Amino acid sequence: MKQKETSMNNSLIYLFIRFMMRFGVFILMITPLTYLHSQDTSKAQEQSVQEQLEALRKEIAELKGNANRAIPNTPQQGTGQNIGGTTTQESLLGGERRSMKTPQDDLKGATIQDERINPDHESRLSLVERKEELIEEDLARRAATAPNISFNERGFVVRSADGNHALRLGGLLQMDDRQYVGQENDANNQFLIRRARPYASGTVWKYVDFRFVPDFGTVDAQNTRNTAIIVDAWININVQKEFQIQMGKFKPPGGLEMLQSAQNTMFIERGPLQQLQPNRQLGFMPNGLLFDDTLNWAVGVFASAPNNYTQTIDTANGYGVAARLFARPFVNDADELAGLGFGVAGAYANMDDYSPGSTAISNGLNTYASDPGVVFFNWNASTQRNGALFRIIPQAYYYYGPWGVMAEYIVQSQGLTFNSGNATQQRQIRDTSWARQLEVSYNITGEDNSFDSLVPAKNFDFFQTDDEDAVGLWQIAFRADQLQIDSDLFNQPNPSNTFAANSPNGNNARGFDSYTLGLNWYLNPNVRLYLNATYTTWYYASRFSSSSPNGTGVGVPAQGTSISNNELAIATRIGFFF
């Protein structure tokens, strides 16, 4: 008995072990299958709308193939047969409402398993096609509202799907080092952040362009720290290119190099023409492009601002008119004259509202400096703008292949009053000053030259390529320029009451001749290195002195000052912009 129980127990244990082994094998088999199924489910859930659409298209193709094989000698459903005022395909979606016999009626005796007569087959095809249409409509709706976003050498750009709105974000950073030969100029040697400008520009509602640019690289009046200003803040109504309206703070129509973007100028600093025209003003300016973009016109009303100055607010010191015509008659022709442009700009203002202030800048005037930036002339604080101002700027450029030439001239005549508060010393003159410059550039690596941005044929890639032509764009440039201010600013009966500031040694020059040789390296469209060598010779004015009571003596600054000897400056810059 005991032996039977033992045998029964052993049999039960054996059965249990077999059961567990089989169950274990089942578990081992089903677990990875379950895992794979869950993975497939997860992947299916993660499928994009486009992948689902592709699967549906394949299913439609298979269903259509089956339908074609089922009844090859009969018209396909949905071809527009009129059955009771509707198509055969629509009747399948709405139930059996046939008013006439169809080829399928002859096959009703067949079994429902036969695919050729399955009444759900064509319905399924129709439903799948409709689902495809719905998905395509959903994709179209998404495409119609999804913005287009890009980031490249032109900055971070966002465009609305309907094309009515666009926003571009970018920046400009320029870091300079300036060294002058000679101990008298040691104080001018410096490293500086010349410009640090983030910007936002774009278009809203298709026809309203805008631009906003602050600058964190401006130095304060004490020349001790950087301060932030608004450089550009304007909108432009651009319904028709022939007639647009720009308003806000921007560059008035003036000289070529002044209008050229700071990232595109051939030299580290602009030439002397910037000394005789405002940099930016507050104003209102209609403008446009005529005759298939061959003629640009602009005329605007602007608040009065000193020369070489970025106006911040309207100081209620009068208003003026500035205008410009610039023609590119062959710009649409692919010939040797396509890069030719020429024009003229001018300005008029009547500034009778200035009154003496604590500094000359508050009187509508600014200092003069050499091309690299050494100040050589300061105004007497008792000098103020008073009377009409005229300015004219003929200008031209020509670009052909790797060569480029740009030339312009400016003459300015303005009324000045010396008003120290003493009626016996008050007097008025007309200051007529002028400047001119000629620039020649050549792209050594052969790229086409341009007034606008230059793009290397092959970007420099930091020695990571075997292409020996991947050197970026190399450019050499030369500029000759001259600035002369009116000698009447110096020749006055009393040397203590000249329009020029009365420094102890008469430390003012009347003007200069300057020659700059530049070498530029565009590593890519966004990074540029500059090297400039500038040689400047000074002109000194005739001044009254005890030895020359008739004012025929030459007022040469004392030895050891920054303008007592000819100036030689070496300047370098790293520029980054996008």
The tens digit of pLDDT for each residue in 8-17 reads: 555 555 555 5
The C-alpha angle with vertex 237 and arms to 241 and 394, in degrees rounded to 5, equals: 60
111-125, 415-429, 486-500, 554-568: lowest mean pLDDT where? 111-125
Q: How many residues does the chain have?
A: 578
- Per-residue model confidence (pLDDT) at position 107: 37
pLDDT at 153: 83
Low-confidence winner among 195-199, 262-266, 321-325, 463-467 (lowest mean pLDDT)? 463-467
pLDDT over threshold 60, residue 38: no
Share of the chain above pLDDT 70, in %: 69
- Cα separation, 212 vs 272, in Å, equals 27
Residue 145 has pLDDT above 60, yes or no: yes
Does 464 score more than 90 pLDDT? no
Task: Judge whether residue 427 has pLDDT over 90.
Answer: no
507, 557 contact by CB (below 8 A): yes
Strands 375-377 and 208-219: unpaired
What does the pLDDT look like over 535-545, one tens digit per residue?
A: 999 988 765 44
Using alpha carbons only, give the angle 358, 363, 366 rounded to the nearest 5 degrees. Answer: 100
What is the model's pLDDT at position 238?
Answer: 92
**Average pLDDT of the residues in 133-141:** 75
Reported confidence tier of residue 271, pLDDT bands at 50, 70, 90 = very high
Predicted confidence at residue 554, as pLDDT, reads 40
Tokens 């500094």 belong to: 359
Query: Position of tokens 């900055």?
Result: 155
pLDDT at residue 115, as a whole number = 42
d(CA 351, CA 349): 6
Higher pLDDT, 519 or 122: 519
560 Cβ contact partners less than 8 Å away, ≥ 6 residues apart: 183, 184
Mean predicted confidence (pLDDT) in 498-507:
69
- Beta-bridge partners for 414: 389, 431
Greatest mean pLDDT among 45-49, 122-126, 216-220, 226-230 lies in 226-230
Stretch 470-493: mean pLDDT: 91
pLDDT at 313: 79
Q: What is the pLDDT of residue 64?
A: 54
Q: What is the pLDDT of residue 423?
A: 60
Per-residue pLDDT band for 314 (boundaries 50, 70, 90) equals confident
Whether residue 523 contacts residue 459, with contact meaning beta carbons closer than 8 Å, is answered with yes
pLDDT tens, position by position, 220-261 = 665 667 788 999 999 999 999 999 999 999 999 999 999 999
Lowest mean pLDDT among 79-88, 190-199, 341-350, 531-540: 79-88
Query: Which of the four pLDDT bands, split at 50, 70 and 90, describes residue 72?
Result: very low
For range 82-90, the mean pLDDT: 34
Q: Are 357 and 379 in contact (CB under 8 A)?
A: no
Q: Which residues contact 359 (CB under 8 A, 6 or more apart)?
A: 381
Of 140, 138, 120, 116, nearest to 128 (Cα)?
120
Single pTM value for the model: 0.73
User: Would you state the pLDDT for residue 31?
Assistant: 47
CA atoms within 13 A on the CB side of 166: 16
> Quick one: pLDDT at residue 533?
97
Helices and strands in the chain: count of H runs, count of E runs: 5, 22
Q: Are 492 and 499 in contact (CB under 8 A)?
A: yes
Measured from the Cβ of residue 565, the count of other Cβ atoms closer than 10 Å reads 16
Report, as an integer, the average pLDDT of 415-438: 84
- Of 41-45, 53-57, 124-128, 324-328, give the range with the top mean pLDDT: 324-328
Give me the pLDDT at residue 431, please. Answer: 93
CATH architecture entry for 149-577: Beta Barrel (2.40)
Task: Give whole-number Cα distances, 105 to 67, 124, 370, in Å.
Answer: 16, 19, 100
- CA–CA gap between residue 402 and residue 454 (Å, rounded): 11
**pLDDT tops 80 at residue 49:** no
Does 67 score more than 90 pLDDT? no
| Mean pLDDT, the chain, whole residue set | 78
Model confidence band, residue 275 (pLDDT cutoffs 50, 70, 90): very high
Who has greater pLDDT, 384 or 207? Answer: 207
Least confident segment among 15-29, 67-81, 256-270, 323-337:
67-81
pLDDT for the residue 161: 84
Q: What is the mean pLDDT of residues 52-77?
A: 53
24 vs 220 pLDDT, higher one: 220
CA atoms of 443 and 426, how far apart (whole Å): 54
Closest to 413 in 3D by CA, of 436, 394, 439, 387? 387
